[in-house]
Chain A
Amino acid sequence: MRERLLTTLMCLFFLSSTVPVATATGPSDSIIWGITYDWANLDDDQETMTGVSPMQVFEDLEQAAMIAKFDLEALSVISGNSYIFIEQWEDESTTQIEDGDGDEHTVIVRHTEITLRHGSRNDQGIVTFWEDANSSIDISYRASQDALALFDIVYTEYLTSNLEHIGADMSITGSASQESELGLELDLRGGGESYDADVEFAVSSGISVDSITSEWRALEPIDILHQMSIDGSEFDGCWDICGMVSGDYTVSANYDFSLSGIPTEEIGLSADVLDLSISDTVTSAGAFYENFDTGYFASDRTPACNGLNPQMQADLGTGADVEVQCRQVIPPFSPGLLGMFAISLSSSFTDSSAFEAAAEELAEEIGSITDEVEDDIQDNESSADDIFVCDDGTEIPAYWVNDGEEDCPDGSDEYGTDLDGAEAMIEAWANSDLQSTMSTFMETLEELVSDNVENPVIDMEDACLTTLWDSSESMVVGAAWMQDGYMIVGPEIDGVGDHSVQFGIEYLVGDDARAAQAAASNLENLGDLAPPSQHDARDIDGLVGDEESESGIFVPGVGVLSTLALLGGSALSQRRNE
């Protein structure tokens, strides 16, 4: 019995080693730091920072509308999570590489791995209703946006023992997408006219980077890093010694527009409902070879953090405190990382004529819609020089057409337009109490909102927002947001206590960051990053009436299978009874 138990435990032990565990790709002594944010904290954080509560603004809107004697309800909900982790480490041994001129160098290999995960859902709903004896406006608006970004960037730079750059390699994988939906329900009445519409517009677009690998080799060693520890350092780029960046890519981009509920009578179609959808996915693979430049670099003490010690001991989760400076490093990445990322991404997506065509086509489509609207407006606004020819041949100024008076002898200038109804409606609104209602609303709202504004808890003018610089390694090892000498977001620093105000941002270092990074790496879709269970938009659904049956008469939907089952069941029960 004991042997069997032991064997089972041994097997479990060996099996457990095959189960994927949350491990980072870097070594356990790497410097890793990251930030996570739960978007459910946004309202509270906004209130802390600005002194204005978004929920209170909605309440003010509703109250102002109530005082002005019309209905207005607005709701908004946002949820999701964002994670960004930066891990850096150096190989224990040096290696040999050639620079762009073919000269060989012994180099230190420094790795930077960036893990980015972001997913958010945002819903808004607005419902408003106003009426008087002869007119009414009923508007229901619903919008939602989903955003997703998943990127893994591995940057490997090659440095001489003097921390001069010889070059770097980069690999990028990931995707970014956004999806927006907008629904507008209108029911307008006035002047004996009515107009209603129920239009839904959806647009989604995204890019996917299956893989981009790129390689940069400088023509000669570039000395930027170690000088970044000197106050006031500034570099305009490496210019003619930067060399070239080359790479391969497999990427795709997609878009999908859809419009439903288009009023078909406006475009001469007989159908009741017309839905349109235009979509495309462009995939491209190839190679690029471009001139490279590290671009502008600067480094100086962070002015807003002058009250802090010039050198501070920070706990970066490496076991021993690290000496750091509050240093404003622009950009806060190693020279080459940002430049290579920009060149790799832009080359991959502009190298394909299909992408260019898709972008041009989108611009054209949007332009043509705008032009059509402008043409429609211009068609209805005749200039003084335009001439209208009556049916009997008489010529009259075009702006006399449809002006309410018959100017042609045969009256053919008063044929009416589609805009007549709209004009009658607008005139009815103008003669109603709509204008005074809106004035009352605006005045009340101004009063309510001004009462609502309090002093922000955090005064951003005094904020010390800084990167943390390790001058011995010449690299950014973290970031911090300090206020009045206290830490709001950042690592533990000797002599800097926690601020009484905290935001929804979590700052992680060391093993905590490593575990969170490994967990975040496995979040690969919107459902993981912004779970629907944590996004309660039921109030908005209730507000705009999404849960209601669209058809006027509710008839339960029944499936063929369920009906057949019902038929079969009743036939069997009959047979049994008989």
Chain B
Amino acid sequence: MIGHLQSKKALVIAVLFVFLSMGLWTSAWFEIHGRGTYTEGIEREPSIVIEYSIDSSQESISVSLENATPLLQYWRNRDTITDSNTATNQQQDSDSESSANDEKSSSLDTVRIVVGLIIIVFGLCMFEAVRNSSKIWSKVSFAAWVILGLSILIQVPMSAISDFGLNDEGESSTGGFDSANNDEVSVNQFAHYSSNSGLGVEFFSLNFDYSSQGYDLGLLAEEDRQQVIDNPPEVGEDGYESYIKFDAEMNAGPGPVIYWWLGLGALVFYWNRHLKSESNVGNSDS
């Protein structure tokens, strides 16, 4: 009777494992939700919303512009202020970026293969642990579960970051603002530019806040720019119409995969506890 119950329990564990593994494999592994809003300078506070996700088969980006009309007008109407050196460098950057992109897909694909292999190894370990009621295999399964978690939580986003080229030295994203140096306004887009950012951690994910402001010289006639560079205009003064403020927040972290992974962890933990209590019963009987 006990043997029958034991085999039934093993079957339930095996079915649940397959079920949870399938859920883990098919759900989103890594997600970024970002929203940036132009809070000053553009009518009706247009927003840019970006959703990025990675799963076992593809990498998806969704970009949406809300209250788009004034934002499209702003982008269309502003002059881009660059010097030739910057332009050349940008060209070179874009060339190197495209060559990096050519090689890029292999990084994430490799991680996908690694995650797939870990799931298979994890499955085999769990199978052995359940079939033989083996404590050693159960502990190995636990180790495989931890490795799987590390792979999903760290390796997947790192490969995405590597693919985006954010780990390379270079200009960081400024939400459309091109300048980070207040004093070099003669060749930069923004005068009196300032920005601040913050980072927070929340349940396996990172929250990133960013805020920047400045006077977009591209919105001003060429002859009016120097005046704004010399003295930042106040509300109501000429040139104040070029004042732009941008606030953004971004959340990056694992997708629903985390729940499946935790479910698998609960399963491993349960089996470990079950084996432990079984051995305790065996010891007390003897």
A residues with CB within 8 A of B: 258, 264, 268-282, 354, 357-358, 361, 364-365, 551-552, 555-558, 560, 563-564, 566-567, 570-571, 573-574, 577-578
Contacts and interface: CB of A to CB of B under 8 A. Distances in A.
Interface of B: 5, 8-9, 12, 16, 19-20, 22-23, 25-26, 43-44, 52, 57-70, 72-73, 76, 97-98, 101, 104-105, 163-164, 256, 259-260, 263, 266-267, 270
Given A560-B256, A566-B19, A271 B270 contact: no
B16 A268 contact: no
Nearest to B22: A555
A564 B163 CA distance: 35
A558 B19 contact: yes
A567 B267 contact: yes
A270 B109 CA distance: 12
A277 B57 contact: no
B270 to A, nearest CB: 7
Contacts of B256: 560
Nearest to B58: A272
Contact of B59 (A272, A276, A564): A272
25 contacts: A270-B101, A270-B105, A270-B164, A271-B61, A272-B57, A273-B58, A273-B59, A274-B61, A275-B62, A276-B62, A278-B68, A278-B72, A280-B66, A280-B67, A280-B69, A357-B69, A357-B73, A361-B72, A365-B72, A560-B256, A566-B16, A567-B263, A567-B267, A570-B16, A577-B8
Given A269-B101, A278-B64, 18 more contacts: A258-B64, A270-B105, A270-B163, A274-B61, A275-B61, A276-B64, A279-B67, A280-B67, A280-B68, A361-B76, A364-B76, A552-B57, A555-B25, A563-B20, A563-B259, A570-B12, A571-B270, A578-B5
B92 to A, nearest CB: 15
Nearest to A558: B23
Contacts of A264: 61
Contact of A574 (B12, B64, B263): B12
A488 B20 CA distance: 66
Nearest to A557: B26
Identify whether the interface residues of A are mostly helix, strand, loop, or mixed.
Answer: mixed
A556 B22 CA distance: 8
Contacts of A578: 5
Contacts, number: 111
Contacts of A272: 57-60
B112 to A, nearest CB: 12
Main secondary structure of the interface of B (DSSP, over half): helix
B19 to A, nearest CB: 7
A336 B285 CA distance: 101
Given A270-B101, A563-B20, A277 B266 contact: no
B16 A273 contact: no
Nearest to B67: A280
Contact of B263 (A275, A556, A564, A571): A564
Nearest to A283: B44
A574 B9 contact: yes
A357 B71 CA distance: 11
Contact of A560 (B72, B259, B270): B259
A271 B55 CA distance: 12
A258 to B, nearest CB: 8
Contacts of A566: 16, 19
Contacts of B270: 571
Contacts of B63: 274-277
A275 B43 CA distance: 25
B16 A567 contact: yes
Contacts of A573: 12
Contact of B57 (A274, A551, A556): A551
Nearest to B62: A275
A297 to B, nearest CB: 39
Contacts of A560: 256, 259-260, 263
Contacts of B26: 551, 555, 557
A166 to B, nearest CB: 42
Contacts of B25: 555
B64 A270 contact: no
Contacts of A577: 5, 8-9
Contact of B43 (A276, A354, A552, A563): A354
